[in-house]
């Protein structure tokens, strides 16, 4: 299939669901391979923000919505529009906003679908890129989970089940196609519990929410001043949100997405892991892993998904301790089969000191790169100081590789490292790194 954009400009205007401010969105055709890009026309000289994994903003600090940003430029509540783009088959679109939040309209994706239908779509010469899920990946927190499994189509199955008497359990499952999205998902509206309204307003959210654009459920389960468009509208809207979040991958998914109680924060963690796997995969496929939030240990399979190194230069077998932004400890089993022993004192094999330092650097890199904001980046070893080699490392030894953070910034890191065998220090060094995106030059 070919990529598509809209055939001519269009516009909508409405109140932001959370800011309560009137905002105008102008939609314009965009070139192939440019994705869904937002421009804040109210900020003079502001840079465009492309909806992607790399521009996601922390969902815990910006709850109840999906936000993207580029430095001082932020765009909020993009999930309904993103779902409308995916549901309409739009690959490339320029969205000009004269405010910080996408218009909420009726609280669903339906108005966006209608606008795109009115102006029509045009095919572009570039082929559409698809993310083909080849092995399962899932992530869970508490009682919520979201997972993706191989499938020949794009399917979503969602279970809504909260310990709230007024919100009964609901389930929805379907292969998502443009006709199904338009008829079964796009009109479903955002919702909240009546007892949540005051708390949301206190933290500055829901200022533009009304009984028309938000389905409000009272403690008895009754809908206040409105009616449902579907008996199971709540779970359908959760599916809509999930589809919009998934489109931050920048391309449609071929796979079966299963979710239980998943919200924006967990959805975004999943796609960050998918993106990481995609960048290290082959031919657009994903080879993914089970992810435990706040993991304190990593096996070799997880390490290979974080570091770009491979045999014979992958020198860490396991991470046995990890305290984010503070400390990591790795293991390296030194065997007589190490390739460097062939030429490094072959009659009396000794592990080269530079390889010990490289192993310490890799443990440091794992700690820096295993963070959502650093997915897709590379840690380049740029300097060392206070290097000392105290004992020889021989075949049969097990190296304990310790890395302690001295300084950690967005672009640089400095670590104090030690290598030990049987509790005795064999080498130590202060190491410095540069953190760069994949397309940045050192």
Return the pLDDT at 281: 52
Give SS3 for 47.
coil
Query: Residue 282 pLDDT more than 60?
Result: no
What are the Cα distances from residue 367, in Å, to 99, 284, 378?
38, 26, 12
| φ/ψ (deg, to 5) at 302 | -70, -40
**Which residues are the active-site residues?**
264, 344
294: left (phi over 0), alpha (psi -120 to 50) or beta: left
- What is the average per-residue pLDDT within 350-378? 85
Domains delineated in the chain = 2-127 (3.30.230.20), 131-291 (3.30.1700.10), 300-437 (3.10.129.10)
Q: Are strands 191-193 and 215-217 parallel, antiparallel or unpaired?
A: parallel
Query: Residue 99 pLDDT more than 90?
Result: yes
Return the pLDDT at 291: 40
Provide the pLDDT confidence category of residue 437 given band limits of 50, 70 and 90.
low
| Each residue's pLDDT tens digit, 229-266 | 999 999 999 999 999 999 999 999 999 999 999 999 99
Return the pLDDT at 372: 67
DSSP state of 185: I
282, 285, 288, 294: CA torsion to nearest 10: 90
Q: What are the residues whose beta carbons fall under 8 Å from the beta carbon of 388, sequence distance 6 or more?
A: 427, 428, 429
- What is the average per-residue pLDDT within 351-378? 84
Distance CA 103, CA 12 (A): 8
Provide the pLDDT confidence category of residue 338 given band limits of 50, 70 and 90.
confident
| φ/ψ (deg, to 5) at 142 | 55, -120
Half-sphere exposure of 21 (CA within 13 A, CB side): 14
Distance CA 19, CA 196 (A): 17
- Does residue 435 contact residue 413 with C-beta atoms inside 8 Å? yes
Query: Residue 417 pLDDT more than 80?
Result: yes
Handedness of CA 61, 62, 68, 71 (dihedral sign): negative
Residue 146 structure tokens: 């979201």
Q: Mean pLDDT for the chain? A: 89
| Each residue's pLDDT tens digit, 10-20 | 999 999 999 99
Give the chain's radius of gyration (CA, Å). 25
| Each residue's pLDDT tens digit, 366-411 | 888 877 667 667 788 788 999 999 999 999 899 999 999 998 887 7
Tell which wins on pLDDT, 347 or 43: 43
Tell which wins on pLDDT, 92 or 166: 92
Query: Residue 135 pLDDT more than 90?
Result: no
Return the pLDDT at 442: 45
Q: Are strands 290-291 and 327-333 parallel, antiparallel or unpaired?
A: unpaired
């Amino acid at each position: 299939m070919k990529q598509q954009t809209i055939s001519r400009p269009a516009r909508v205007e409405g109140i932001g669901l959370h800011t309560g401010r009137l905002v105008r969105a102008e939609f314009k055709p965009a070139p192939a391979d440019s994705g869904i890009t937002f421009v804040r026309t109210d900020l003079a000289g502001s840079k465009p923000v492309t909806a992607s994994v790399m521009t996601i903003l922390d969902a815990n600090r910006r709850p109840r919505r999906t936000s993207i940003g580029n430095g001082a430029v932020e765009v909020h509540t993009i999930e309904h529009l993103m779902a409308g783009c995916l549901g309409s088959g739009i690959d490339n679109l320029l969205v000009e906003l004269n405010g910080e939040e996408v218009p909420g309209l009726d609280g669903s994706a339906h108005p966006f679908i209608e606008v795109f239908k009115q102006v029509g779509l045009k095919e572009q010469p570039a082929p559409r890129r698809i993310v083909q899920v080849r092995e399962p990946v899932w992530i869970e927190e508490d009682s919520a989970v979201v997972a993706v499994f191989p499938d020949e189509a794009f399917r979503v199955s969602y279970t809504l089940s909260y310990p709230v008497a007024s919100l009964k359990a609901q389930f929805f499952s379907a292969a998502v196609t443009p006709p199904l999205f338009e008829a079964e998902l796009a009109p479903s509206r955002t919702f909240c519990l009546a007892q949540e309204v005051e708390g949301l307003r206190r933290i500055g959210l829901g200022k533009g929410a009304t009984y028309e654009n938000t389905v409000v459920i009272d403690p008895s389960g009754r809908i206040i001043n409105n009616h449902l468009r579907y008996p199971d509208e709540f779970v359908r809207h959760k599916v809509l949100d999930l589809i919009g979040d998934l489109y931050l991958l920048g391309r449609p998914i071929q796979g079966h997405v299963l979710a239980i109680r998943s919200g924006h924060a967990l959805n975004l963690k999943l796609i960050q892991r998918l993106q990481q796997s995609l960048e290290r995969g082959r031919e657009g496929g994903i080879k993914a892993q089970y992810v435990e939030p706040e993991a304190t240990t990593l096996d070799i399979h997880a390490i290979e998904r974080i570091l770009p190194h491979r045999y014979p230069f992958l020198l860490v077998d396991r991470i046995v301790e990890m305290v984010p932004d503070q400390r990591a400890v790795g293991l390296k089993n030194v065997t007589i089969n190490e390739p460097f022993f062939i030429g490094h004192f072959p009659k009396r094999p000794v592990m080269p000191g530079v390889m010990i330092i490289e192993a310490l650097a890799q443990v440091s890199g794992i700690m820096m790169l295993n963070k959502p904001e650093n997915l897709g980046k590379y840690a380049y070893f740029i300097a060392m100081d206070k290097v000392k080699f105290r004992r020889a490392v021989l075949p049969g030894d097990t190296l304990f590789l310790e890395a302690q953070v001295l300084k950690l910034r967005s672009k640089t890191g400095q670590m104090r490292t030690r290598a030990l065998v049987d509790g005795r220090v064999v080498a130590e060094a202060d190491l410095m790194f540069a953190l760069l995106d994949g397309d940045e030059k050192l």
